[in-house]
A and B are shown apart, each in its own frame.
Chain A
Amino acid sequence: MSESLALSASLEDYLEAIFHIAADKKVARSKDISNRLGVNNSSVTGALRALAERGLVNYAPYDLITLTDEGKAVAEDVIRRHEALRDFFVRVLSIDAQTAEEGACKMEHVIPQSILERFIEFVDFVELCPRAGTDWIQKFESFCKGVPDRQLCSECITLVEGKPESKPDEGRERQAGTITLGDLKIGQRARLVKVRGQGEVHKRLIDMGMVPGVVIAVERIAPLGDPIDFKLRGYHLSLRKEEAKLVTVAVLEEGRV
């Protein structure tokens, strides 16, 4: 990324804020943005101009603000980085939600993609690996609180040497965050992990039964490639790719059911 095109951290924050506000209220006003970021109105105006110049937002003074497709992509990327970092802090490092949120906010702008991917993979690895698992993280938590108990180590050693027990079922599911309903092929089935986003779409999707744990199958794709018809809870529901991308899933198995 060349220097001139790279977005400053604060501009990325603006994009993120607009994205969240738009998800909440459909449209953003500069007042909402200044409230959310805790900055004054004139800085918002300046930032919006800068973003509009880069073609990331549609902006005219006193008008509603929307993200362009490109702006949306950038914002989604920032949010993905934010969520991945926050998850890492909370779930692996056992840092409290508030601090994790703040830390993620700062780091999301500077962390290189490749390191981030490794973070995500590490979270998956820690949770899936029979040698690690969630209890391993819990032990790390108590270690941080200053109770290193050597006694426990020998316990673990015998545990690991004793039985190489695997968790076949979970091992086959690819975990969290990376795959969405929009990425699935016809005939694939997946277990819902999370519906991202907020506001009305989110509400409608969960009301329609798209809650964590439900199994969803891809039935067919419309002739023009969009929308997609899914089957869940014994009925057909169709979504555009755009909405399907909000739903992260874990793929269950290949092939026609």
Chain B
Amino acid sequence: MEAIRKITVALAGNPNSGKTTIFNNLTGSRQHVGNYAGVTIEKKEGECSHRGVDIRIVDLPGSYSLTAYSPEEVVARRFILEDRPDVVVCVIDASNLERNLYLAVQFMELEVPLVLNFNMMDISEARGDRLDVARLSETLGVPIVPTVGHRRQGMSALLDCVVEAGRKKKAGIVPTYSPDLEQALRLIQSRVNGNLKGQSLPSRWLAIKLLEKDPEFARQWNGSAVMEEAKLQSARLEDKLEESAETLLAQERYDFISRTCEAAVHRESPKETLSDKADALLTHRVYGIPIFLAAMFTVFWATFNLSSLPCEWIESGIGRLAATVSSFWPAGADSPLRSLLVDGIIGGVGSVIVFLPNVIVLFLAIGLLEDSGYMPRAAFIMDRLMHRIGLHGKSSIPLLLGFGCSVPAIMATRTLENRRDRLTTMLIAPLMSCGARLPIYALIIPAFFAVQWQAPLLWSIYLIGIVLAILSAKLLKSTLFKGAAAPFVMELPPYRIPRLRDTILHVWERCAMYLRKAGTVILTISILLWALTTFPQQESRALAQAELTEAAGLVEEPADSLSNSYAGRIGRFLEPVLRPMGFDWKIGTALLGAVAAKEVFVAQMGIVYAAGEDEAPLRQRLQQNYSPLVGFCIMLFCLISAPCMATVAVTWRESGSFYWALLQFAGLTVLAYILTTAVYQVGVRAGIGI
């Protein structure tokens, strides 16, 4: 027996067939999974070892077909064709067998060593379907491994099969089609055989692709005798059977699948499932939209209310920590190190960590929506509206994710096939108020507004973001991205009860990311900003005193050390620009920090107002210094203005152009400036909230 050491395995399959769950099980990694098509948008790699063989596993984005229609499908197809993995594992949702086998049949046409993985066997069994796996495997000439991904059932059998397939390198049977089609394929194939151009692809498969007029291969073979033959055959078929060659091929593949399944699959007559019942309510003509809005409101309500108590605990914990650290130094003594630790690090990072509970609740809610399968319903319900503003129903998935974080939201725009839709969605995604902006609202709202106004106010901030996003989308669609609308063709997967483990994993990852950010980016910036606010130092005696007087009111004279610091100088330099919005130079320095990451705004306010000995919470200080109107303006400006660096970077990468990222950054900042100024000026004149 030939010994092999290392094989490469591609995990391919329809969207939402559970490839990533299998991938996570096999490699022990923790890639994000969810219940809608297109969670995985880039190929991901992992490794494992089984019976002495090192297996490199590549998780490909979901594809319905090898015809490559959306950007993710292009990624998947390119990998299979160009990297030629040793084994292709086609993951199949066993509860949706026919449609899923369509891709498998195309792999059989391609004659690659193939293993079929019938995943989600539990759902199929629960529905009363009986699959004769042995018989199917025999008919197709391909090993089939049944698994239940989320219960990790069948993983070892799958690996056994993969190793075996890697050793044998044997493809399944090649499906044969109707005599008309076979004749056409034979004729094209005979021409292909004559001039393969060094391609290692099977000639029959090439013949099929050429007959289908696959754009990539048609371009490659353009003008050749082979292409002429393909055109001729395709015209002949069309004439005879009155259908285009690609339709005929698709039809024959589905017929092949039906024939295969007929003997081996016994299906209970479909009854109304729980999922159907849920849909009857959740996408109901009358209740559908109110339920959607109520769900969104509940998310924000919960984010704010469920987490208020733990937030207070953390806040007092940080206060105590600051006091303890302070007490290492004799009272009244002034030490730069103490100031760095207490004001810079604990003040800065601490004020961000305080909001961890809010972040947990928000991501828990988004995670539940994702895992249950509600996201595609949101797209379904919202499509008409989205269509009217020039977007696509599928845009609502990235936009909803945007409430969590703009970065995954912008990455999720890849599920949009149309480039204009994709860019528009990408550019407006930061207007969906992200989780990092939440600390700002969570700081400001209770500082200035009574309890009964807090939830509606938060809701209204989010709503303002949504309205602005709609208007911007309309503007972009009628100027830069004019053109015909993209079609809406979307699968609605059955609802699933979110599994605790996945949801907790999901939340944990987000929190870990938040904490990591607090420990790295925000820590660095906090120290930097602290340095900018502390140096150059004046006589140390005057410092604490001066700061207290400064904090008591909007003192203009720059006598104290804070306003004389580098940050103060920058802030004061910017102040004339910020004045029309009602902001002073302190807010200005915090806004600068917010460009790096939105939470830094809170951190910097913490540093600016850290009085050291005085333990009055930041909110009280804000209340003393600013009017509710200014508070509202801060939230408005932070909502709209300059997306954080990570967002700019991911927009740059995903759009493929620096200019789109620049447009997003500049456009949003200008919009924020104009709107905030307008609100403040009107507010001051009308005497609202001052």
Contact = CB atoms under 8 A, between A and B. Distances in A.
B492 A234 contact: no
9 contacts: A27-B484, A66-B484, A195-B247, A208-B64, A208-B489, A219-B276, A219-B279, A222-B283, A234-B267
Interface string A107-149: 0000000000000000000000000000000000000000000
Given A26-B484, A209-B98, A227 B393 contact: yes
Interface in A181-238: 194-195, 198, 200-209, 211-214, 219-227, 229, 233-238
A240 interface: yes
A225 B388 CA distance: 13
A204 to B, nearest CB: 5
Contact of A223 (B254, B284, B484, B485): B284
Contacts of B489: 201, 204-205, 208, 237-239, 243
Interface string A233-257: 1111111101100000000000000
A101 B421 CA distance: 37
A208 B98 CA distance: 10
A129 B489 CA distance: 37
Given A223-B288, A233-B99, A203 B67 contact: yes
A95 B255 CA distance: 31
B246 A206 contact: yes
A195 to B, nearest CB: 7
A22 interface: yes
Interface string A29-67: 000000000000000000000000000001000001010
Contacts of B289: 223-224
A225 B383 CA distance: 10
A156 interface: no
A204 B277 CA distance: 28
B247 A209 contact: no
Nearest to A224: B384
A211 B250 contact: yes
B329 interface: no
Interface string B228-265: 00000000000100111011001100100000000000
B134 interface: no
A66 B29 CA distance: 48
Given A223-B285, A234-B96, A239 B488 contact: yes
Contact of B383 (A220, A236, A240): A240
Nearest to B269: A257
Contacts of A206: 246-247, 250-251
A240 B381 CA distance: 11
B98 A233 contact: yes
B387 interface: yes
B410 to A, nearest CB: 23
A226 to B, nearest CB: 5
Contact of B490 (A225, A233, A234, A237): A237
Nearest to B285: A223
B243 A194 contact: yes
A222 B251 contact: no
A159 interface: no
B288 A222 contact: yes
B237 to A, nearest CB: 12
Nearest to B251: A211
Given A204-B489, A207-B250, A229-B492, A238 B380 contact: yes
A97 interface: yes
A208 B380 contact: no
B102 interface: yes
Contacts, number: 135
A206 B489 CA distance: 11
A191 B484 CA distance: 29
Given A208-B99, A234-B97, A227 B243 contact: no
Interface of B: 64-65, 67, 69, 95-99, 102, 239, 242-244, 246-247, 250-251, 254, 267, 270, 276, 279-280, 283-286, 288-289, 380-381, 383-385, 387, 393, 417, 482-485, 487-494
- Chain A interface size, as a band, is 35 or more
B381 A222 contact: yes
Contacts of B65: 207
A214 B253 CA distance: 13
Nearest to A64: B483
Contacts of B102: 207, 209
A235 B487 contact: no
> Which 5 A/B pairs are nearest by Cβ-Cβ distance?
A224-B384, A223-B288, A211-B251, A207-B65, A236-B492
A220 B384 contact: no
Given A212-B243, A222-B383, A227 B488 contact: yes
Contacts of B64: 204, 207-208
Most central of B64, B483, B492 by chain A CB within 10 Å = B492
Given A198-B244, A206-B246, A207-B64, 6 more contacts: A195-B247, A207-B65, A209-B254, A220-B283, A223-B381, A240-B488
Contacts of A204: 64, 69, 487, 489
A203 B97 CA distance: 20
Contacts of A205: 489
A95 to B, nearest CB: 12
Interface in A133-189: none
A242 B284 CA distance: 21
A57 to B, nearest CB: 12
A40 B246 CA distance: 32
Nearest to B100: A235
B490 A214 contact: no
A66 B483 contact: yes
Nearest to A194: B243
Nearest to B393: A227
Contacts of B487: 200-201, 204, 239-240, 242-243
Most buried by A among B64, B254, B491: B254
A240 B285 CA distance: 16
A198 B380 CA distance: 25
B254 A222 contact: no
A239 B487 CA distance: 8
Given A235-B96, A236-B491, A237-B490, A226 B251 contact: no
Nearest to A221: B285
A213 B380 contact: no
B77 to A, nearest CB: 13
Contacts of A211: 247, 250-251, 254
A229 B250 CA distance: 22
B483 A27 contact: yes
Given A26-B484, A212-B243, A222-B288, A227 B384 contact: yes
Interface centre among A26, A213, A219, A238 (most CB of B within 10 A): A238
A200 B489 CA distance: 11
A223 B243 contact: no
A6 B104 CA distance: 52
Contacts of B247: 195, 202, 206, 211-212
Given A203-B246, A223-B285, A22 B270 contact: no
B247 to A, nearest CB: 5
Contacts of B485: 242
Contact of B98 (A200, A202, A229, A234): A234
Contact of B488 (A195, A209, A236, A238): A238
A219 B278 CA distance: 13
A229 B393 CA distance: 13
Nearest to B252: A211
A207 B478 CA distance: 32
Contacts of A222: 283, 288, 380-381, 383-384
A226 B387 contact: yes
